[in-house]
Amino acid sequence: MDKKIGIIVQDLEMKQIVVDLYPTEVKNGSIYIELLEPENIEYQGFEMSKKGIDVLIARSGAYRFAKDKALVPVIRLEMTSIDILKALKKAKTFHKEMVVVLWDGINFDFNEWKDLIDANVKVKFFSERSEIEDIVESFSKQKKQVVILGGVIVTQLAADKGMDSIFINATTDSIREIITFASKTIDAIYEEKYRAEMLKTILEGVHDAVLTVDIKGIIKTCNDRVIALHGKKIDKPIGRELASTFPSLMFMMDILNGSKEIVNQIMTFDDITAVVSVSRIYVGKEIVAVVFTLRDITKLQKLEKHIRVELNKKGLVAKYCFEDMKVFDADMVKVIDKAKRLGLDENTVVIYGDSGTGKEMVAQGIHSISRRRDEPFVAINCGAISENLLESELFGYEEGAFTGARKGGKPGLFELAHGGTIFLDEINSISKNLQVKLLRIVEEKEVMRLGSDYVIPLDVRIVAAANEDLRKMIAEGEFRSDLFYRLSILEITIPPLRKRKGDIIPLFCQFLEDMNVDINKFPVTSEIELKLLSYDWPGNVRELKNIARRYSIFGEIDLANNKLNTPIIDETISIGNTIDLKELNKIVERKIINMLSASGMSKTDIADMLGISRTALWKKLKET
């Protein structure tokens, strides 16, 4: 917390004392000094308080005028008896009668000190500035026999009349003490503001209506929710009477007068059904106030819904790390080692590999080893969702952005991934239109919801996966080169299962172990191993896991049914019935699509193999 103390000094000597005591503070401006301007004494404190100071120190007349007009607290640098005695000691050297002229707000009784000072001393007090002139004037005819002691105005008037004078200056100890006190005052003011602001923030941040009333029925605290529930605008309810401001809440006074406190009671008033609590506040054993809290049940239901959404967000986490991946093949070990190094970097990554090779597991491993490990991991398969739906899922939308848009809008996956990692699987399948929008997110680190007119800044690491060669797609005009170079800062390729045969048998055995298969009942014989190693595994690890699941049920390895040339039509069509060729074609299409999908092929691969667009394939999937 920066502190700035202002001080009006009486003369250059006093200023030098402050500078000598606090050279650093004066130099950096945390202590701001001004010389007293006698002709502007009434307004100097006010004008000085507008210069960013937290408190103002002033003496005598300067304090008197500043305390009522300054915009900050004013602390009085008192003229102490020690200050006056030191000035009297100096005045004795004149060998004249000494006249001390003091503001009547100064507590000084010379009779207490006269035994210490062997001199003729008179003490005159004034309350108004005009009285100073009268006092000084009354001694002007004796100017050769007297010396005048006082503040700046007193000594200046005496000097104007040719009279000897001594300025009663503040001692070093007095100045040190008052500046220390001023610093503590600033701390106390800050603490009070902090507490007040914290209380205000808490009251406005809670979902309850909160109202506090003292024993006289005066409102002491009240947040906006109380006013909103009351149903009419009430300006500044704090300090007003409860009876005239919120008459329906007068039952609070019964609690003050000894009635039983209310705890989580469902009550209806002002057409509101709510959960209400009313408790007494004690200072020691004395009841000083009562606090009322109310929660609208409708709002409680909305809050519960919001909490569920927030808890669902917590599910956006990586389930796997590199330690969970069972890797045995030498080539695959090198791939994982490279992936670990990529995880420690912050750049975008593209993972290449056939469907079913474990691209998402590697992406989760990269996230889990990175500095973002405790933040969200959000994954989406870009090839499994239509273009329009994918756009709204990625970027989110505002309420009313399109027909059927959820009330209140919806955050996109990029927003949910803020601070963490987003995994874009099958990025090779997104349209040119979405590629342009994705490029902006990668470049600008910000997203704009559909139907919105403002951008949301993002801190997201992108890990993408492709089951096609993006460079080949660029050459064919299917993928933007600028997006490719933004994404492919780091690359990694996961070999297909058929090229890492060292993983096949260990993974198969691991899958059986995870399924709690009795190895004595279903042993992995050399014949089974030969079958597994001889197969091409077009569906890769995903297909291997399915084969292990079948083996755990039937105890046999039947790879023939997984081959693409197996019969695809097994529906029985009665010869006696009329054959609907369109229906027959649908059956054929459905079987082919299901078979290709089961083999682990992506939607893009299936569309290419069938010679149709992804849109056409999407329509056929909906029909089936």
Domain boundary among 255, 271, 301: 301
* Range 407-419 average pLDDT: 85
Quick check: 337 pLDDT over 90? yes
Please compute the mean of the pLDDT values over residues 300-318 and round it to a whole number.
56
CA 590 to chain centre: 51
485 with 415, same domain: the answer is yes
Distance (Å, rounded) from C-alpha 214 to C-alpha 359? 65
Residue of higher predicted confidence among 31 and 297: 31
Assign 364 a pLDDT band (cuts: 50, 70, 90): very high
291 within a domain of the structure (yes/no):
yes
Domain boundary residue, one of 439, 462, 493: 493
Rounded Cα distance between 207 and 210, Å, is: 9
In a domain, 308, yes or no: no
Between the alpha carbon of residue 346 and those of residues 142, 366, 435, 445, the distances in Å are 89, 10, 21, 13
Q: What is the pLDDT of residue 474?
A: 92
pLDDT of 88 above 90: no
Choose between 25 and 595: higher pLDDT: 25
- How far is residue 111's CA from residue 320's CA, in Å, rounded to a whole number? 89
How many Å apart are CA 465 and CA 383, to the nearest integer? 11
Q: Are residues 441 and 365 in the same domain?
A: yes
- Band the pLDDT of 538: cuts 50, 70, 90: confident
Per-residue pLDDT of 370-389, as tens digits, reads 999 888 899 998 887 877 78
Contact 431, 615 (CB under 8 A): no
195 domain residue, yes or no: no
Q: pLDDT > 70: what percent of the chain?
A: 87
Burial class (CB in 10 A: 0-12, 13-18, 19+), 330: exposed
Query: In the prediction, which pLDDT does 113 show?
Result: 75
Answer yes or no: do 337 and 226 share one domain. Answer: no
Tell me the C-alpha distance between 185 and 75, whole Å. 9
Q: Is the pLDDT of residue 266 over 80?
A: no
Confidence at residue 495, expressed as pLDDT on a 0 to 100 scale: 92
Same domain, 337 and 486: yes
Alpha-carbon distance of 70 to 43, in angstroms, equals 8
- pLDDT at residue 464 in the model: 93
The domain spanning residue 263 has which CATH number? Answer: 3.30.450.20
> CA dihedral in degrees (500, 504, 510, 512; nearest 10)?
160
pLDDT in tens, 539-595: 888 888 888 888 888 888 877 665 544 443 444 444 444 555 555 666 777 777 777
Please check whether residues 232 and 365 belong to one and the same domain.
no
Find which of 56-65, 538-547, 611-620 is predicted with most confidence, using mean pLDDT.
Answer: 538-547
Question: Are 19 and 59 in the same domain?
Answer: yes
Q: What is the pLDDT of residue 112?
A: 72
pLDDT category at 611 given cuts 50, 70, 90 is low
Query: Residue 77 region, left (φ>0) first, then alpha (ψ -120 to 50), else beta?
Result: beta
In a domain, 192, yes or no: no
**What is the arithmetic mean of pLDDT over 108-119?**
72
Mean local confidence (pLDDT), 103-131: 78
pLDDT the model gives residue 562:
58
The mean per-residue pLDDT over the stretch 79-94 comes to 84
- The CATH number linked to 415 is 3.40.50.300
| Contact predicate 562/536, CB 8 Å | no
**Whole-number mean pLDDT of the chain?**
82
* 317 occurs within a structural domain: no
Return the minimum-mean-pLDDT range out of 5-14, 21-30, 272-281.
272-281
CATH number at residue 25: 3.40.50.2300
Asked if residue 316 is part of any domain, the answer here is no
The predicted pLDDT at position 565 comes to 44
- Do 348 and 466 meet the contact criterion of CB atoms below 8 Å apart? no
Per-residue pLDDT band at 12 (split at 50, 70, 90): confident
> Burial of 305 by CB count in 10 Å (0-12 exposed, 13-18 middle, 19+ buried)?
exposed
Q: What tens digit of pLDDT does each residue of 480-516 get?
A: 999 999 998 899 999 999 999 999 999 998 888 888 8
Closest of 354, 382, 367 to residue 319, by C-alpha: 367
Is the Cβ–Cβ distance between 491 and 350 less than 8 Å? yes
CATH for 532: 1.10.8.60
Q: 35 with 162, same domain?
A: no
Between CA 256 and CA 279 the distance in angstroms is 9
In a domain, 479, yes or no: yes
Choose between 205 and 425: higher pLDDT.
Answer: 425
pLDDT digits (tens, 9 = 90+) for 275-286: 888 889 888 888
Whether residues 364 and 233 share a domain: the answer is no
Shared domain check, 40 and 180: yes
Show the domain range for 623: 559-624
**pLDDT band per the 50, 70, 90 thresholds, residue 462:** very high
Among residues 558, 577, 605, which one ends one of the domains?
558
Asked if pLDDT for residue 24 goes beyond 50, the answer is: yes
Total domains in the chain come to 6
Higher pLDDT, 604 or 368: 368
**Do 572 and 542 reside in the same domain of the chain?**
no
Percent of the chain with pLDDT over 90: 15
Say yes or no: 349 and 379 in one domain. Answer: yes
Q: Is there a single domain that holds both residue 337 and residue 431?
A: yes
Query: Is the residue at 542 inside a domain?
Result: yes
pLDDT for position 362: 93
Mean pLDDT within 79-102: 85
Q: Can you give the CATH number for the domain in which 153 is found?
A: 3.40.50.10660
pLDDT in tens, 183-240: 999 888 888 877 777 777 776 667 688 889 998 999 988 888 787 776 667 778 888 9
Residues 6+ apart with CB under 8 A from 604: 383, 426, 428, 429, 467, 468, 614
